[in-house]
Structure formats: structure tokens, C-alpha cells
Amino acid sequence: MAEPLALKDHTWETRIFFRRIVVGFGVLVVLTLFLVARFFHLQIVQHDVYATLSDKNRIQVQSLPPIRGLIYDRNGELLADNSPSFNLTITPERVDDMPQTLARLAEILELSDEKIEAFRKRLKRRQRPFESVPLRFKLSPGEIARFSVDRHALPGVEVEARLVRNYPRGELMTHAVGSVRRINESDARRLDPVAYSGTDHVGTIGVERYYESDLLGTVGYQQVEIDARGRVMKILESDLPVPGMDIVLHVDSSLQQAASDALGDRRGTLVAIEPATGGILAMVSKPGYDPNLFVTGIDHATYASLRDSPDVPLFNRALQGQYEPGSTIKPVIGLAGLVTGMTNAQYTIDDPGWFRLPNNDRLYRDWNWTTSGSGGHGQVNLEKAIYRSCNVYFYNLAVEMGIDRIGNYLALFGFGVNTALDLPEAKRGLLPTREWKEDTRGLPWYPGDTVNVSIGQGDMLVTPLQLATAVTVIANRGRWVAPRMLKSGSDLLERSTVPQMDSIELIPDRVWDLIIGAMEKVVHRGNQVYGENGTAWAYIGQDIPYRMAGKSGTSQVVAIRQGEEYSEEELDERERKHAWFVAFAPVEKPEIALAVLVENGGGGSAVAAPVARAVIDHHLLKNTAAGGRVIAATEQ
Amino acid sequence: MSQDFVRRLPGSGLVMQRKAGIGDAVHLDMSMVLLLLAISAYGLLILYSAVGQQTAPVLSQGIKILAGLGAMVVIAQIPPISYMRLAPWMFLVTLILLVMVYIFGVEVKGSRRWLRIPGVISFQPSEIMKLVLPLTLAWYFHDRHLPPRARYVFWSLVVIAIPVIMIAMQPDLGTSVIIAASGLFVLLLVGVSWWFVFSAIGLAVVSAPALWFVLRDYQRQRILALLDPERDPLGAGWNIIQSKTAIGSGGLFGKGLFEGTQSHLDFLPESQTDFIVAVLGEELGLAGVFALLVLYLLLTGRGVVLSLRAQDTFGRLLSGSIMFTFFVYVFVNMGMVSGVLPVVGVPLPLVSHGGTSILTLFAGFGILMSIHTHRRITL
């Protein structure tokens, strides 16, 4: 279509421009009148209201920090509450000479340069004018008394009572509950300044961290009139803070205590899970530390000694420790062999005590190769391979199956992923695959690698929590329950972003019967000829009043993954093998499943199994406080 | 004041003409210069009170105003035809600068607005865009038949949207609002039909809820704070509560110059920059605010008269847009300080301290005077 002739029509243009300008200016006058009306409303109509607020007294908004939610164990025992602490705070606007005030304060109470520096940093982060900034936390009664004497000479300095986190069970629960710490600069950058105004602490580890948004509560405020000296004259309006939600954990303090006692002074860890729910009944990592130290600010020397200790007390072994699982994974490998048809209940090998891959000189030895007179375990079927922990049987089976199938079955039990719903620190471990080895080492997967994986050595790494979870799945005969700390009180659990696992289905009952039966024999098969008893029977199985299924493991040492350097004298002790034991009980209707690790403890059956027994005994036999079931000893 | 009169030319519409005034020789409009000086002086007085009667900030602001006046005089000497020729190129260069802000920009308080050439200069390209956008649109419509066809309107909307969106993403909501206004005023003045204008406004109102989802969290807080300051009195609502208290307590004649309590006891944040009206309202009361509004209205009115006298489309569109945009500053700033508009960070023109925008403002007035004093027809 041809463009119609578009001559400029100056007359029209000028007229329309004139009209638009006039209309525009008219709107502008109306808007000006609107502003005048608005200011008239504020300054004349509402003048009295604002004049009262402003004239003699000044209006100020103060935040009212909420009370942090409490944490209970499953029996209603308090694991975390709040207790008063007296802080010294300064309102900079009311201080005439800050250096002089600080110097004067340093004379009457302990005030290191470090603390002054921290105070200056907090001062910079301050949100609003006339907001007081803490200088010292946790004043002693003596310090409060000395300050009161000099108070008249120190305008702008106040003693404020604040509620701070308190962990009544101290070190016992620290790795299970986590802890809060005082908000530091990097916290301040990521936290909402309004939600945290007036709050000094934030949950940074464990349950305290995961449930932070529910535990925190909602900040309140009050509008107050203050006089020129900063004293509150009248509360004009207030909105009370909403306390944080109280939450209840699955953890059982008395069981935690029993586990802690059973581990004693050894370095190690224990995770116990309730198979019906996935709830974590106990989670101990030793050594631990007193979380209360961190609440009111830990001094550099104490922190350094915790951080630099070769025993790494700050490290939660149950979640962050990644270890070779050793023979504890044999039941899973055996199950994979049965399901894939690579072996069956009857298939038997003759174990000479060693294994050799075709066309390879290297010998893979069984654990009793040197001690057994005949060498090896003789005639071994799958059941015996589990209760005697025969390596050679699994070497053969693993080479038959290949790493891909083994990996698929291990993955079904949660290895190589973190499945803990509300434990943000939990590590994933490592489930080695062909691709993983190609990517990280640039090497192909060798059959020898598969041989190592079959007995939980080599590249495979698990956390104690993962191992306890896998045992829980066995106890549940394939029904998946994700491990969790929370029993009730928050809906953040449902919003967890960890991968959701499926239950393992279509595995025939006879397969579970065989695997669980073999694990039962690890504990209960006794009074046989030499070399025919379950590996743990001699240590725990002789007088046990219920049926327990278990599996021992002994893994070669990998240095704890925190980059700590150990001193020479300690090398020997720390090169000893780690002792593992996994178990669940009662076999007929499992109520507890657990994994125990004693670092550098030696043999799993001798060292770790008694810890497992003590904890399960406590849970099933003594734990009346829990209101839980008590299995009478007479049942046996 | 020069003698103004209206002459009806045969066969044409209303064209206003006038005698040559005393300012024409130096290409300035004297009544406008006087009004600018009056507002600036008033502003310096308020600032002197707002900073607690220190002279240093007032001096630095005074120097900025003088520099602005100087720039205005220089810009007024250049004939408007040069600005028209350069307009599309300036637009391109400014767009490139905005892209560079996105890539190399310096982040201050979570937004990326500044371009810094170390040791040489640092500036906000969005400030330049405040003038370049109306220039470009005036150039675009200058030779076209008006009212423009729909597709020209469409393309001009695209030209407006590009810088507005880029600046809103920095994020700098205040400046992007100002720039959008400066572009849309040109469209209003080229005579797009009222039907179009009102349906656009209607569309904007309807789609406003959708905008909610693209706003940053702090921007949402500010809007919520406007609707209910008590909702969040510790955070976003704080400024509004405090500035309303300051203004309201001022009453009819105020507490007296330098006698404000709210602003001087540090209760009032930003009292020297965006919230300076609260100081004025508290110390000089409604009378002081009213006087300032009258000065602004006179200045805008004078600008409107100048734009009516412009002789070509380019000059008319540009000067009209500059004057209306100037008023948007005033309205948005006073609206937000008095709690009827959300806090978007728009300074009060010629009064707020720290004038990155002072230079832009005076440059705009310079262009206005250039248009007015370089005349092709002299009667």
C-alpha cells in the first residue's frame, strides 16, 4: 500500500500542543494543590498528634526480641532453653566522649582490645539511631556492682538483661542439637536486619541451624516516648514479640547418655535410628565440646585449643566423618548377589584364604589368612560368608557382578547421597563408579577396584549416619525412612530439599530372611567348633536376652578429613584400624538400628560390638523413662 | 518582565510571540534565572539547618549550584539545531554507557549505578539519560506528521522502554520512573489520542499487581511500608514515621529555623538528601512548604510559557517534556516524604544535598533557554 501523503499540519500541531500543555499544566496545579492538602492535613489537622509525639519528648521505636523456641527430647526433657544474661550496652548518641568512656569502663571491668574492636564492628552494623550496642556480654555480679557505683559518670551506658541460649546437658547433646553463636559480620550480611534486630544469636550448627526460622520467632517493637536523657517516659504503642516455636526431637537423652558412657573416652561415634520413623534416637560424636562456650562468646585461646586439637572435638564424626565401611556392607553386597542371580543360598566356594584375579599375580587375602591353621574359611556359602565375614566369597561374587551392578544396589541403600532431612552438615560419602574414577584420576576402573569395594575398602566412603540408615532399611526389609531429628513442632521438615529415596521393592522375603538370618548369626551363632561361631558371638552374644542382627567391620585408616596434622608420637595409635559394628534389634520387630565406630579401636566385633550391645540393652531393657517398651529378661 | 502578547496569525492556530528581552543577548531567560536563584538560595538555607549549621556542606552545595549555572549558560549558547542533530548519537552512546554499567559498574549498597574511570571521573549514565531520552524522542517526531501513526508510537515506546528497564534493573526505581515520565510526556505532547493515553493508564493499573513479582524485596518493603508504616516500624516504615512526625509537629509556622528537634537529634534519616522537606516542614511549617511549592509552580509555569513560544516541533516537545519532568521530581519527592508515595529515592530538585542531579537539572534549563533564545522568526 502506498504511503499516504503525510504533510506536517502545523496549524493542527500547534493547537493540539497548546491544548496538551494547558491540560498538563492544569493537572500539575491540581497535584500541587493535592500536596498542599497533604501537608495541611499533616501540619494543621494532625498537628496536635505529631506535636505531642515530638515536642517535649521524642518518639523512638525499640525492638523487642522474641524468645527463642525451646528444644525438647522425645521424653520432654529440655535440651535447649534460654537463661538471663547481663550485658553492658552503649547508646552512642548519649555518649559525649567515646574514647574516654571506654577507658573509664576498662578500669572497672575486664575489657580487652579484642572486645573493643568487636564493639566497634557492631557499632558500624547498627540499623537505627538511638539503638544501644552491646559492649560486654555476661557481666559478673561483681562487675555489675562496680559499674553501678560509677554509673552517674557514664551517660549512655546501661546494663541490660537479655535471654540467651542455654544448653542444660552441655557437651552430651552438642553434636545432636547443634548450637547458636553470636551474630558476626558475615552472618549480619546474610540475615534480615529487621527480623534480627534485638537478637544477638543465630543458629549455625545442626538442628539450631536447620530450624532457625521457626526457632527465632517474630520480633516485636514498641513506640516509646523518651526524654532528652533517653529514659522511657511512656509506651505509646507496642506489638509484642511472638516467641519461636518449640520443637521436639526424636533423640532420647538417656539413650544418648548410655551411648556416650559406652564409648567412654575413646574417639568414636554412634548413630541410633528408630526404624519405624527414621527418627534419630541418639547421635554421639566423641570427643565433643560444651556448646554453652559459644553462646556468650568464646575467647581466642579456648577456641584455638578446640580447633587445633588432634581429636577434632568440633567435628561431628556422625555426619561429617567419611570412613571406609569395611565389612559392614557385606550384607548389602550379598543381597545384590542374590537378587541379580549371581549367587544363591546353596552356592558354595572353597576358601583357601586368598583370592587372585585371572592373569594377575596380586593376592587378595582373607582376614584370617595368617591366623587360621588351614588358611581361609573352608567351605563357605553366603550365610557363612556373612557371619564369618569371609572376604574371598565376596571377592568372587563382586568380580562376577561387576562394579556397575554393585553400585546400583549400594545406591538403593542411600550410599553416595545425603538423605538426612534436617541435618545440613551431613556429608554424602563416596560411592565410586567408573565415571567418578575417570573424572578424578583419569584412570579406567580395574577389576581390583571392584574387589576392594566388595569388602568396603578402597575408594568407598560412608558417614556413620549413612551406615545406620542402610541398616535401618535392612531392618525395615526395604522400606525407606529418611533419617531425621525432628519429631514434631515445625513444618520445615516437609520442606527439606534432600533427595527423597524410594523404598526397595520386589525383593522376595526369602532374600531378606537369608540376609537378616545371617546377620542374626553374627551375634547369636555360638558354641560351635573353632571358626564356626558368629564373629561377634564371643564378645556380646552369649547372654543376650533378645534377638539382635549385626555385622562387624574393621576398616583401614583414612586420615580424618579435616586436614589436621598429627604429631609423630601419636602416629602409631592413630594408624590402627577403625572398629565398626552395625546392628538392629529385636529382629522380629526392630525398634532400634544403629552404627558404631570406634576410631583406631581395632577389631569391630571385639571393640565396637559391646558398645552397640550396651546401647541396645539400654533401649530395650532399661529405658523405662522413655515410657517405651520394656522387654522383660524373662522372655528369653 | 518583558511584554507578552498573543498574536493570531492568519490561517494558523495560536502562536505566542513577544519582543526580544534583555536576556536574549546572552541567550538566557531572566525571569527563569531569577526563579532558579531564588529556589537555590532557599534550598541552601534549609540545607544549612539540616546539616546542623555547618558551612562546609553548604559551601560544597553552593559550588555545585554555581557549576550547574555555568553549565546552563554554556548549554544555552549552543543553538537547538545542534542538539537535534546529535540526539540519536547521544542516545546510542548513553545506551552503551548503560550496558557498561551493567558489566563494569561499581556496586554501592546493592545496586549498580555508577561508572568509574579511576582517577578521572565517576558518574551515573542514567543521569544523562534523563535529558537524552526526551531529546531523542523530540528528534524522532520532529519531521513526522502529527498525530503520529500507531507504529511510530510503538517504536517510541520501545525507545522509552529500553533505558527504563535497564535502569530499573540496576536497580534504581526512582530514576527509571523519572526517565519513563520524561519520555511519556513527549508522547502526550505529540498528540496521541486521549483514548490511547487513558487505556495505557488503565493497562498500567491493571498490570501493577504483576509488577509486584519483579520488584526486589526491599522495594516491596517500601511499598508495604507506605500502605502501613506501623507494619514494619523498625525497617522500611521507620523513615516514613519519622518524617511524618517531623512535618506534622511543624504546624503552620514551624518551630523556627534551626529549632527542629526531630531532624537535629538524628531521628530523621536522610534529612539532608531525599528527606530534606521534613526539615523544612518541621522548622518553617506549612508556610515554608507552601512558599517552596509556589516557587516551584512559578518556575514550571514560566517553563510552560517558554515551551508554548517555541517555534518548531522539536523545541516544543523538548521544552514541554523538560518542564513536566521537573515537576515530577517535586511531586514524587514531596509525596514520598509526606507518606503518600513509596520511598523511591528521588531528590528534591535544587534543594537536596549531594547533587548528582543538579548538573542534569541545570543542563535541562540550559536547553530550554537555548530553544527560547535562538529564534528563526523574529517579529
Predicted ipTM of the assembly: 0.88
CB contact (8 A) between residue A38 and residue B145:
no
Q: What is the predicted pLDDT for the residue at B266? A: 57
Which residues of B fall within a CB distance of 8 Å from A46?
248
Cβ-proximal residues to B194 (8 Å cutoff; 6+ apart), any chain: none
Percent of chain A with pLDDT over 70: 90
Q: What residue in A sits closest to B262 (Cα-Cα)?
A: A54
Cα–Cα distance between A407 and A403 in angstroms, integer? Answer: 6
B219 CA: distance to closest CA in chain A (Å): 14
For residue B127, how many other CB atoms are within 10 A of its CB?
21
| Of B364 and A103, the one with more pLDDT | B364
Cα–Cα distance between A318 and B277 in angstroms, integer? Answer: 61
| Of B142 and A55, the one with more pLDDT | B142
**Mode of pairing for the β-strands spanning A247-249 and A71-72:** parallel
Q: What is the predicted pLDDT for the residue at B379? A: 43
Which residues of B fall within a CB distance of 8 Å from A221?
233-234
Whether pLDDT at A570 is above 60: no
Q: What is the predicted pLDDT for the residue at B27? A: 85
Which residues of B fall within a CB distance of 8 Å from A50?
244-245, 247-249
CB contact (8 A) between residue B185 and residue A24:
yes
Cα–Cα distance between A355 and A365 in angstroms, integer? Answer: 6
Closest to A241 (Cα-Cα) out of A489, A85, A67, A69: A67
Q: What is the predicted pLDDT for the residue at B264? A: 63
B249 CA: distance to closest CA in chain A (Å): 4
Which residues of B fall within a CB distance of 8 Å from A197?
234
Closest to B244 (Cα-Cα) out of A50, A60, A36: A50
| pLDDT tens, N- to C-terminus, chain B (379 residues) | 444 444 444 333 344 455 556 677 788 889 999 999 999 999 999 999 888 888 888 999 999 999 999 999 999 999 999 999 999 999 999 999 999 988 888 877 677 888 887 777 778 888 899 999 999 999 999 888 878 888 898 999 999 999 999 998 888 888 888 899 999 999 999 888 888 888 888 887 887 777 777 777 777 777 776 666 666 666 667 778 788 888 988 889 988 888 777 666 556 667 778 889 999 999 999 999 999 999 999 999 999 999 998 888 899 999 999 999 999 999 999 998 998 888 877 889 999 886 567 888 999 999 999 998 887 654 4
CB contact (8 A) between residue A194 and residue B269:
no
Side-chain-side CA neighbours of residue A144 (13 Å): 11
Strand, helix or coil for residue A281: strand
Cα angle B150, B151, B156; round to 5 = 100
Catalytic-residue membership of A179: no
Cα–Cα distance between B47 and B276 in angstroms, integer? Answer: 7
CB B102 within 8 A of CB B108: no
Best residue of A32, A39, A192 to probe chain B, by most B CBs closer than 10 Å: A39
Best residue of B141, B221, B234 to probe chain A, by most A CBs closer than 10 Å: B234
Averaged pLDDT, A464-469 = 95
For residue A128, what pLDDT band results from cuts at 50, 70 and 90? Answer: low
* pLDDT tens-digit map of B173-231: 888 888 999 999 999 998 888 888 888 888 878 877 777 777 777 777 777 766 666 66
CB contact (8 A) between residue A39 and residue B296:
no
CB B146 within 8 A of CB B156: no
Percent of chain A with pLDDT over 90: 42
Q: What is the predicted pLDDT for the residue at A235? A: 79
Q: What is the predicted pLDDT for the residue at A564? A: 43
Cα–Cα distance between A245 and A501 in angstroms, integer? Answer: 29
Q: What are phi and psi of B151, to 5 degrees?
A: -70, -30
CB A604 within 8 A of CB A552: yes
Cα–Cα distance between B356 and A198 in angstroms, integer? Answer: 36
CB B50 within 8 A of CB B345: no
For residue A309, what pLDDT band results from cuts at 50, 70 and 90? Answer: confident
| Minimum-distance CB partner of B235 among A8, A24, A193 | A193
A442 CB-contact burial (10 Å; exposed 0-12 / middle 13-18 / buried 19+)? exposed
Q: What is the predicted pLDDT for the residue at A481? A: 93
CB contact (8 A) between residue B14 and residue A7:
no
Mean pLDDT of chain A: 85
A8 CA: distance to closest CA in chain B (Å): 5
Torsion angle of alpha carbons B121, B126, B128, B132, nearest 10°? 150
CB contact (8 A) between residue A36 and residue B293:
yes
Whether pLDDT at A569 is above 60: no
Whether pLDDT at A280 is above 90: yes
Tell me which DSSP letter residue A577 carries. P
CB contact (8 A) between residue A28 and residue B248:
no
**Mode of pairing for the β-strands spanning B106-108 and B111-117:** antiparallel
Best residue of A20, A31, A42 to probe chain B, by most B CBs closer than 10 Å: A42
Cβ-proximal residues to B218 (8 Å cutoff; 6+ apart), any chain: B110, B236
CB contact (8 A) between residue B241 and residue A28:
no
Averaged pLDDT, A543-551 = 92
Cα–Cα distance between A381 and B97 in angstroms, integer? Answer: 77
At position A613, the amino acid (one-letter code) is: R
The answer to whether B146 faces chain A, any CB pair under 8 Å, is: yes
Q: Radius of gyration (Cα) for chain A, nearest Å?
A: 34
Q: What is the predicted pLDDT for the residue at A631? A: 43
CB contact (8 A) between residue B266 and residue A129:
yes
CB contact (8 A) between residue A16 and residue B146:
yes
Q: What is the predicted pLDDT for the residue at B105? A: 82
Name A271's bridge partners.
A283, A595
End-to-end Cα, chain A, rounded Å:
102
Closest to A280 (Cα-Cα) out of A265, A290, A270: A270
Whether pLDDT at A293 is above 90: no
The answer to whether B377 faces chain A, any CB pair under 8 Å, is: no
Among A259-263, A572-576, B244-248, the range of highest mean pLDDT: A259-263
Q: What residue has cell string 565375614?
A: A389
Q: Which cell is B142 given?
A: 520532529
- Catalytic residue chosen out of the listed positions A327, A496, A552, A605: A327
The answer to whether B116 faces chain A, any CB pair under 8 Å, is: no
CB A411 within 8 A of CB A431: yes
Best residue of A11, A18, A28, A64 to probe chain B, by most B CBs closer than 10 Å: A28
* pLDDT tens-digit map of A433-464: 899 999 988 899 988 889 889 888 888 999 99
In the A/B pair of chains, how many CB contacts fall below 8 A?
167
